[in-house]
Amino acid sequence: MNARWLRIGGTLMLGMFISYIDRTNLSVSLPSVAEDLGFAGSRFATVSGWVLTTFLIGYIFANILGGIFTSRMDPKKIAILMMGLWSCSTLVTGMAHSILVLLLCRLVLGIAEGIYWPQQSRFVKLWFSPQELTRANSVIQYYGQFLALGFGFIILTPIHAAIGWRNLFYLCGAVGLLVMVPLYARTLLSTADAPYPEKRAITPAAKTPRLTLEAFGGLSFGLLIFTYITQGMLFWGITLWIPMAVKSIGFTGMAQAYASALPYLAAVLLAVPMAYISDKTGKRIVIAALGLLIPGCLLLLLPAVNDGYLKLALITFAMGYYASSFTPNIWSIIQSNVRPHAIGAASGIVNGLGAGGGGTLAGLMVASVYASTGSYMSGFMILGALVVLGGMSLLIYGFLQRHRRLGAESINPSLGASRHAAD
């Protein structure tokens, strides 16, 4: 295997696995945390909504500012520092004896992981060719994320039952500090060694290009942001609440853990054929848009289904198809349409507003709907309607990009061959 796939792809995949374990361990242990810190009972839905989404509030601003202000720094150094910081916050979470300390720890976790996230897109752009983007994103950002969600609930549930929530957080923090930080320092490579460095003009004035709207792809960049906000609502609205949601439709104990993991295991299985189809056909925008439209329609069917297994099947296929079709492709689309020097900043803006902002709104919305109706499925149905709008927004973006490209090619025909990867 090529060294960059193992040293860059494999190492960052493992790092993403750990990051999602540290994000979702609270979802598994939340009932125990609520009992210990005094917000069980009538306050559970409201306080839990804020506890779960405080991570995402920090994530919003850290992605945006982190992507912009670290764009000229070595992504290896930033990744190591942020891994250490969020591991410390996870460790301290296990010591929390008040809701305030818990909230502060989750905020720091969100800030550290938010600054870390854009560095992954920078690694992809620096180390992989345009023809490898979807596969590289799948390895670095996708498999680690969804393997953690797929196996994380299965792994964390019995550990939590055996050692309690405090020791669970101690364990997760120690893995980051004692295993992952040294691994990153030893294994990851620096920007100076990258085979696809940022292209800069040779004139002194052009050595530090500005981050302009044109560098992000023009006004149509706003359509990508809206699309990603809706998918952030879909992903986090379900992921934050899925252990409690599957329990509400009849799954308890280890059955609850397996049911919670099933949508993400489906995503892992579907990712291989979808990544191959995307890179083979180059139709990334259409495939990503269908990855929102089809799941959205499936979730709209939830209120019409009474059987718990059928509800789980709808959620499983919706999340599996969405994740395998949309998630790897959206980053390839951004990396192909944003100028190289703006990749980190664009990734931070999209992920900050989308995952952080959209996830915060969705987490609080699902909590509010549950408090009012006693049903998580009603909240999931609303997420389905919103993500259909996101799919439509992405199709419009694709139309505008094709129109823009055709206009550019009519002026300079040599541009045509270099643009087709974004389709």
Flag whether 363 is in a domain: yes
pLDDT band per the 50, 70, 90 thresholds, residue 416: low
Could you tell me the residue range of the domain that residue 168 belongs to? 3-190+213-414
Instruction: List pLDDT tens digits, range 194-222.
Output: 888 765 444 444 455 787 888 888 888 99
Instruction: List pLDDT tens digits, range 248-287.
Output: 999 998 999 999 999 999 998 888 788 778 777 878 899 9
Q: What are phi and psi of 282, to 5 degrees?
A: 75, 5
Flag whether 127 is in a domain: yes
Least confident of 216-225, 227-236, 316-325, 389-398: 216-225
Flag whether 129 is in a domain: yes
CATH number reported for the structural domain that contains residue 275 in this entry = 1.20.1250.20
Helix 253-281 to helix 308-337 angle, to the nearest 10 degrees? 40
Helices (H) and strands (E) in the chain, counts: 17, 0
pLDDT, average across residues 17-29: 93
Flag whether 281 is in a domain: yes
pLDDT, average across residues 374-401: 95
pLDDT band per the 50, 70, 90 thresholds, residue 19: very high
Name the strand (E) or helix (H) holding 360: helix 359-373
Higher-confidence residue of 149 and 96: namely 96
CA–CA–CA angle 48, 50, 53 (5° rounding): 105
- Give the dihedral of Cα atoms 278, 284, 289, 295; nearest 10 deg: 20
- The 10 Å CB-count burial string (b at 16+, else e) for 292-319 is bbbbbebbbebeeeeeeeebbbbbbbbb
Record the tokens describing residue 316, joined without a space.
Answer: 């499983």
With tokens 């810190």, the residue in question is: 37
Count up the domains in the chain and report the number: 1
Higher-confidence residue of 328 and 35: namely 35
- How far apart CA 390 and CA 359 sit, in angstroms, is 14
Flag whether 201 is in a domain: no
- How far apart CA 340 and CA 289 sit, in angstroms, is 24
Q: What average pLDDT is seen over the chain?
A: 87
What pLDDT is recorded for position 249? 94
- How far apart CA 101 and CA 395 sit, in angstroms, is 43
Flag whether 174 is in a domain: yes
- How far apart CA 118 and CA 113 sit, in angstroms, is 9
With tokens 């999209």, the residue in question is: 350
The model carries a pTM of 0.79
Flag whether 394 is in a domain: yes
pLDDT band per the 50, 70, 90 thresholds, residue 187: very high
